[in-house]
Structure 1
Amino acid sequence: MRTLFLCLLIVIVSLGPSVAQSPASRPIGSSARTYCNPMDISYRYNFEQLNERISYRSGADPVIINHKGEYYLFVTIQGGWWHSKDLSNWQYVVPDKWPMEDMCAPAALSVRDTLYLFQSTFEQRPIFISTEPEKGKLKFYNRWLPRLPKDIGPWDPALFHDEDTDKWYMYWGSSNVYPLFGAELDKNRNLTYAGNNPAEAYKAMLWLDPYKHGWERFGPNHSDPFKPFVEGAWMTKHNGKYYLQYGAPGTEYNVYGNGTYVGKSPLGPFEYAPYNPIAYKPGGFATGCGHGNTFQDVYGNYWNTGTTWIGVNWGMERRIVMNPAGFDKDDQLYADTRFGDYPHFLPTKKLDTRSGPGREDLFTGWMLLNYKKPVTASSTLGTGPADTVSVDRVADENPRTFWVAGQNRAGETLTTDLGAEHDIRAVQVNYFDYKLAIFDSDSTVYTQFRILTSTDGKKFEVVADLTKEPKKDHACAYVEIPARADGRPVRARYVRYEHVYTAGKHLSINAFRVFGNGLGKAPAPTTLTAKRQTDQRNVDLSWKKVANATGYNIRWGIAPDKLYQTYQFWNDAPGTFELRALNVGVPYYFAIESFNENGVSSLSEVVSIK
């Protein structure tokens, strides 16, 4: 369900380059740091189902703020926040004071030397400020933001300061009944609602319209007739225009995305952007990217954050993603989710995004090497459903299936056979919380492991060792594999995870992902057909499968050079699909590319539908 339902429990208790480039040819340089979604942070253990003794790591509704050249990440129900100097290494910060309950979907904003922080609420709650957020220092800015009428909120708030006018605003909403709201705040009265009557200070900004906007329909692949939810407001000003971002249609679905309305003033009127959604990732491992924010890094590059869903221990079990974003030459806002859960570079300079994603692509070109490849384990728990705890599930790219070791002890291993030698660049280990009873992320909650490689499956060498770093919890551990002394990448056929430590009774992993490049050829390009249905929100897609392909990316957009949307499919899935995410009355253009362990094909001919 949505953030609102989750947090009330606490209140109660371009056509880019179509052939994968080598990292050395990237415009940002091969020495740049990389990251991989879901984000590698120390997600805190939640306690929503305390009476059922269910616990699990989770994080949702992210806001990343660039404050004085450093980054602060605020996430639902975490008891604090994270601080980073590089968008890669995140340190958890415990605040010196906290609200009367943990913060849900908090609003955060940096203005000059001050960071502002406000929580979702239906009651009267204060706005906090900090000039030393890296130290966890918080002060009250005001004591109580006046109460709004029943059920109005502000829930899922966002704060916005217009630098050109020095005026302040708040946007909010999380509902399938109410719209997103907006209101001006009065800085002269400590950011309370402007005007004398709070009940009249706000107005509706936008409503969902799933009858015209296919992607706003509820359910997996927009297949459920249930009324969708709008939430996750965020405001971005660019080139004199105001982009009011929102999340829809529901956090527990692969199609959870971000859209935008565009206006000429902070409180509208706003017009629906025909290119919506701006951030959308329905396929792959980390599906869904809705309810986040848009921010700029220290170089001026845009990013869009969001929430991806797991939903096994409870429906609200989630993780955080961060995707490159930008505005093209026509001021179209987009987020690039192509290979969005594969390793990407973090830029070291300002990138040119006017031609859309691809001109200076952040994708490393490191491919997933072990999709459904053989995996062996030192042991597997003898109880529990075999279709969820078996070892092959760590390579099926499904975060809702998992392996459980016979015991949580040092020395347990997972070994994947890639079938041939490949250049190994990085590994991601995603832990799963199987029948745990951890309700506080204390000093005993951390993860340690080693990564070993072998060419023959007999003699292994250690290529990464997390016991050499300070103890830290890595729910979605991402590790780059250092190159050898001569600069060449590690080359191996077998890659092994060797367990050292994780808290709790069980060791469980839902994904052991190996990235790099094979030594063969990328697959041949393929062809795509697209036929729009009478219901213009839907299009029937079909493609010809090609030899040696692992999967395909369907790419589409509102112009031949604006194919900003991506839906990833594996080769073992059917070669047909009904896409239900289109906007009524908008022409579209589609193309397809195939990929495997060695790289990506050229893009197919672009086909159009009216």
Structure 2
Amino acid sequence: MKRSTHLLIASVLAGCITSCSSGKRIAQHRIVTNPMNLNYRFQPKDESCREAADPVLEYFKGYYYLFASKSGGYWRSEDLADWEYVPCTTIPTLEDYAPTILPIGDTLYFTTSSGKTQIFKNAHPEKDTWEAVDTKLTYRLHDPAFYSDEDGKVYMYWGCSDKEPIMGVEVDPKDGFRALGEAKALIAHHGDKYGWEVPGKNNEEPRQGWNEGPCMLKYEGRYYLQYAAPGTQYRIYGDGIYVGDTPLGPFEYVEDNPFSFKPGGFIGGAGHGHTFRDKYGNYWHVASMIISVRHMFERRLGLFPVAVSSRNGIYAHTVWSDYPFYIPNRKVDFDKTDLSMGWNLLSYRKPVQASSSLAGYEPGNANDEQIETWWAAQTGKKGEWLQVDLETLMLVNSIHVNFADHHFKVFAPHPPVVYQFFIEGSADGKKWMNLFDETENGKDEPHRLFTLDKPVKVRYLRICNAKEMDGCFSLSGFRVFGKGEGAAPSKVTGFRAIRDSEDKRMYRFTWDAQEGATGYVLRWGTQKDKLTHAVTVFDNQYEARYFNRDSEYYFSITAFNENGN
């Protein structure tokens, strides 16, 4: 395809954008979305695919440090928006699953799931200079988690099983993290009572799921022990909470579980995560999100703002987290805002054309809001392209580009996997303007959000490959955000929530299809005035089995389209 340059619009990262939801001016580089745009590493064996999961994130000496399974290193950031990758070779257990880190004084400590517990330390983790600790903790840790209390006492939690409980014990970091006393069983399996703990794509399998990935948070003197269930390969993977008055319990189940949950939208999953505070005192949750197509452990990372209050409990904002939102540079009340930029999805199932495609990987897979499906061109040659027709002129603010790595043969260790391309827009399909030029890109960024300094009014958008590459030029999501100029859908009518008489963990929902609606957001919770959970649905019916057997629920539903909610 001949590249035309009738109008050049530079993507200047130093600019500021006005949020449609809050009216605030937001630094452009702070506008992000999920999955996090990291250089996810291809794995060393099996089918060629990327993975990162089981994350932990802490603020230490002016930087945020992010570790995740199977990543060959870790990341650091000054602002939670831009991340620098630090390759690591001095931790011999780095390739084991489920890392955890702990700042104590001027030193950062690290351990992970392994056959024999080994702990490492580094006073300068910006450098790959980790040293082994003379570890005296003899428990074999699966999915470990450090926790340091305000009184200086340190605890270790662990657990990853469909049978064994989540465990905990106090340890002495001054004596090789030696256990102080016997480990205690803290959280058992209760899939018979809590539907979200049951495995299966829709929590339908007649067995116990995996309780795993603990994390401890203290708030207003109480201890919130988090755990993940029922399995990392499912969109219904989430994190729940038990609460107690001491670090080792006893703990009681929080009725409004799971607090971190994202079964719908472009990418699902919000489990096996870690809750932390940023330098302004805001709470966040970083968690595993799933693709699980080429391998069960094909995963990504998600970052979610977390509301913490004595009245409403703890809950993560997840439903719009795969739309553009911003990372604040101040203290924010997350009980009142989810940080959304207020832009609407313009591209869902709009007409799509492409230069070529493989059978089963048709162009429509690029804008069906499912990261598990993708469009693949027949080749990786320069000039392969994909084009979306928004069907009318619309104001475009940002484009979310998600590459699918189709037919790649990349295995760790490997250099950065770099895509080079450009994105154009047109009002009439004839004259094209260059919106983003990445023909000289040198970064490995498979989930890049591009934001314009000023919105541009276009009808057509296309992305074109500019680099000869092995495999196929492919996209799991070419997602366009902005503002339509039509009417938002009307209030939803005919809503019904029917609880299954045989299994009270299951609800079936139906409602009238609303004219002009793109989809619906179904919300629920155990507090009538605070519905803390939500799922995006693109139909007028929905069935879910992830409710508590003995809890009562309240529901609401909202229709949305490219013009609003």
Superposition TM-score, scaled by structure 1 size: 0.86
Residue 341 in structure 1 maps to residue 322 in structure 2: yes
**CA positional deviation for 1:444:** 5.1
- The 5-angstrom pairing of residues 197-346 of structure 1 reads 201-330=182-311, 332-346=313-327
Residue aligning to 2:68 = 75
CA contact (8 A) 2:93 2:114 kept: no
Q: Equivalents in 1 of 2:378, 2:306: separation in Å?
A: 43
Deviates more, 1:113-122 or 1:499-508: 499-508
Residue aligning to 2:345 = 368
Q: Equivalents in 1 of 2:25, 2:191: separation in Å?
A: 43
Q: Deviations over 1:569-591 (max 9, x none)?
A: 01xx2x22222122132221100
Residue aligning to 1:36 = 33
**CA positional deviation for 1:546:** 1.0
What SS does structure 2 have at the residue aligned with 1:222?
coil
Q: Equivalents in 1 of 2:413, 2:92: separation in Å?
A: 19
**CA positional deviation for 1:272:** 0.3
What SS does structure 2 have at the residue aligned with 1:62?
strand
Residue 552 in structure 1 maps to residue 520 in structure 2: yes
Q: Equivalents in 2 of 1:238, 1:40: separation in Å?
A: 30
Q: Deviations over 1:10-51 (max 9, x none)?
A: xxxxxxxxxxxx8255165344621111110000011242xx
**CA positional deviation for 1:145:** 4.1
- The 5-angstrom pairing of residues 539-578 of structure 1 reads 539-570=507-538, 573=539, 575-578=540-543
Residue aligning to 2:451 = 480
Q: Equivalents in 2 of 1:442, 1:344: separation in Å?
A: 32
Residue aligning to 1:183 = 169
Deviates more, 1:170-179 or 1:509-518: 509-518
Residue aligning to 2:3 = none
**CA positional deviation for 1:472:** 1.2
Distance 1:364 1:305, change over 3 A: same
One-letter identity of the residue aligned with 1:322: L
CA contact (8 A) 1:221 1:282 kept: no
Distance 1:25 1:514, change over 3 A: closer
CA contact (8 A) 1:24 1:30 kept: no
Residue aligning to 2:418 = 446
Q: Equivalents in 2 of 1:139, 1:40: separation in Å?
A: 30
Indicate the percent of aligned positions where both proteins have the same amino acid. Answer: 39
One-letter identity of the residue aligned with 1:445: V
Q: Equivalents in 1 of 2:420, 2:138: separation in Å?
A: 47
Q: Equivalents in 2 of 1:291, 1:444: separation in Å?
A: 27
Q: Equivalents in 2 of 1:71, 1:417: separation in Å?
A: 40
- Of 128, 133, 143, the residue aligned with 2:125 is 133
Q: Deviations over 1:325-382 (max 9, x none)?
A: 12134260100112221111111211123xx3xx23311111111111111112224x
One-letter identity of the residue aligned with 2:490: A
Distance 1:216 1:100, change over 3 A: closer
Q: Equivalents in 2 of 1:544, 1:139: separation in Å?
A: 61
CA contact (8 A) 1:64 1:73 kept: yes
Q: Equivalents in 2 of 1:88, 1:432: separation in Å?
A: 22
- The 5-angstrom pairing of residues 390-401 of structure 1 reads 390-401=362-373
One-letter identity of the residue aligned with 1:507: F
Q: Equivalents in 1 of 2:385, 2:426: separation in Å?
A: 14
- Of 438, 445, 457, the residue aligned with 1:491 is 457
Residue aligning to 1:588 = 553
Q: Equivalents in 2 of 1:448, 1:333: separation in Å?
A: 41
Q: Equivalents in 2 of 1:494, 1:558: separation in Å?
A: 44
- The 5-angstrom pairing of residues 419-438 of structure 1 reads 419-438=391-410
Deviates more, 1:366-375 or 1:548-557: 366-375
Distance 1:160 1:444, change over 3 A: closer
Q: Equivalents in 2 of 1:111, 1:449: separation in Å?
A: 44
Q: Deviations over 1:213-265 (max 9, x none)?
A: 11111111211213200111100111101111111011111110010000111
- Of 530, 541, 555, the residue aligned with 2:497 is 530
**CA positional deviation for 1:427:** 1.2
Distance 1:441 1:476, change over 3 A: farther
What SS does structure 2 have at the residue aligned with 1:428?
strand
Q: Deviations over 1:114-152 (max 9, x none)?
A: 2211111132x3211122112233122x2334433xxxx
Residue aligning to 1:517 = 483
One-letter identity of the residue aligned with 1:144: T
Q: Equivalents in 2 of 1:101, 1:304: separation in Å?
A: 22
Q: Equivalents in 1 of 2:270, 2:443: separation in Å?
A: 25
Q: Equivalents in 1 of 2:26, 2:156: separation in Å?
A: 41
Residue aligning to 1:608 = none
More helix by share: 1
Q: Unaligned stretches of 5+ in structure 2? A: 1-17
Q: Deviations over 1:551-581 (max 9, x none)?
A: 00000111122111001101xx2x2222212
One-letter identity of the residue aligned with 1:29: R
One-letter identity of the residue aligned with 1:341: D
What SS does structure 2 have at the residue aligned with 1:394?
helix
Q: Deviations over 1:426-472 (max 9, x none)?
A: 11121223232211353352222222111111111111123455x11
After the TM superposition, which parts of structure 1 deviate over 4 Å for at least 4 consecutive aligned residues? none
One-letter identity of the residue aligned with 2:225: L
Deviates more, 1:107-116 or 1:96-105: 96-105
Superposition TM-score, scaled by structure 2 size: 0.93
More strand by share: 2
**CA positional deviation for 1:105:** 0.8
Q: Equivalents in 2 of 1:31, 1:211: separation in Å?
A: 47
Deviates more, 1:98-107 or 1:449-458: 98-107
Distance 1:63 1:502, change over 3 A: farther
Residue aligning to 2:437 = 465
Q: Equivalents in 2 of 1:447, 1:240: separation in Å?
A: 49
CA contact (8 A) 1:62 1:105 kept: yes
Deviates more, 1:174-183 or 1:323-332: 323-332
CA contact (8 A) 1:79 1:103 kept: no
Residue aligning to 1:23 = 19
Distance 1:25 1:76, change over 3 A: closer
Distance 1:441 1:27, change over 3 A: farther
Distance 1:241 1:48, change over 3 A: farther
Q: Equivalents in 1 of 2:498, 2:362: separation in Å?
A: 40
Residue 504 in structure 1 maps to residue 463 in structure 2: no
Residue aligning to 1:606 = none
Residue aligning to 2:355 = 378
One-letter identity of the residue aligned with 1:425: N
